Structure 1
Amino acid sequence: MLTISQALYEKIVAHARADHPDEACGMVAGPAGSGRPERFIPMLNAARSPTFYEFDSMDLLKLYRELDDRDEEPVIIYHSHTATEAYPSRTDISYANEPGAHYVLVSTADTDGAGPFEFRSFRILDGEVTEEEVRVVEAY
């Protein structure tokens, strides 16, 4: 199960809304080993596409160095789908390389970026996709 604060939930949805009709993407980091999402890190979709997202390789390298320096790890990797449901595509599955992360998808399809939004979380391990419950809390 993914437990996420209301504030982080709203930031992810706001990012998806702001980047619509392109896919939004980013990460939420947390203290290494805690599994607790804390620090919201919106990223630029280098692909600038409504059907595909890609982290800029230099931004990603810088981010992973920063995570290492801060003793953090990716807890949530998120992106939006602008024309389909919030479910990992074959491409999403093939690019999922953080076995401990929650993969959050927000669908802005049929909303013109205005909502309501579909917000779902998955674990992706060795090509296997497992949906998990999302629990939104005021605070941890």
Structure 2
Amino acid sequence: MLTITQALFDQIVAHAREDHPDEACGVVAGPAGSDRPERFIPMLNAARSPTFYEFDSQDLLKLYREMDDRDEEPVIIYHSHTATEAYPSRTDLSYANEPGAHYVLVSTADSDDAGPFQFRSYRIVEGQVTEEEIKVVEAY
């Protein structure tokens, strides 16, 4: 189960809506071994595409060095789908190389600024996708 604060939930959704019609992407880091998402890190979609996302390799290297220095790890890796449901694509599966992370997908396909959206979380290990429950809390 993914436990996430309302503030982080809102930040992820806001980023997805801001970058629409392109896919948004980012990370929420937390203390190593805690499974507690704390630090919201929106990233630039280097592909600038409505159907594909890609982390800039230099930005990603910088982020991992920073997390290492802070004794953090990526607790959530998120991105949006702008035209399809919030379910991992084959491309998403090929990028899923953090077996301990929660992979969050936000679909803005049927959304407007205030309208509905899908927010779903998955564990992806060796190509196997398992959807998990999400618990939104005010604070940890």
TM range (shorter): over 0.9
- Which contiguous aligned blocks of 4+ residues in structure 1 show a shift greater than 2 angstroms? 112-115
What amino acid does structure 1 have at the position aligned with 2:12?
A: I
Q: How does 1:49-64 map to 2 (within 5 A)?
A: 49-64=49-64
For normalisation by structure 1, the TM-score amounts to: 0.98
Look up the SS of the partner of 2:26 in the other structure: strand
Pair 113,45 (structure 1): closer, same or farther in 2 beyond 3 Å: farther
Q: Distance in 1 between matches of 2:121 and 2:78?
A: 9
For residue 10 of structure 2, what is the aligned residue in structure 1? 10
**Residue equivalent to 1:132:** 132
Aligned residues between the structures: 140
The percentage of aligned residue pairs carrying the same residue is 86
User: TM-score by structure 2 length?
Assistant: 0.98
Shift of 1:112: 4.0
Root-mean-square deviation (CA), in Å? 0.8
**AA paired with 1:68?**
D
Q: Secondary structure at the match of 1:50?
A: coil
Q: Deviations over 1:58-99 (max 9, x none)?
A: 000000000000000000000000000000000001110000
Structure 2: unaligned runs, 5 residues or longer: none
Tell me the CA shift for residue 116 of structure 1: 1.3
Q: How does 1:99-138 map to 2 (within 5 A)?
A: 99-138=99-138
Unpaired segments ≥5 residues, structure 1: none
CA-to-aligned-CA distance 1:35-61 (integer Å, 9 cap, x gap): 000000000000000000000000000
Verify: 1:45 aligned to 2:48, yes or no. no
Which amino acid in structure 2 is aligned with residue 3 of structure 1? T
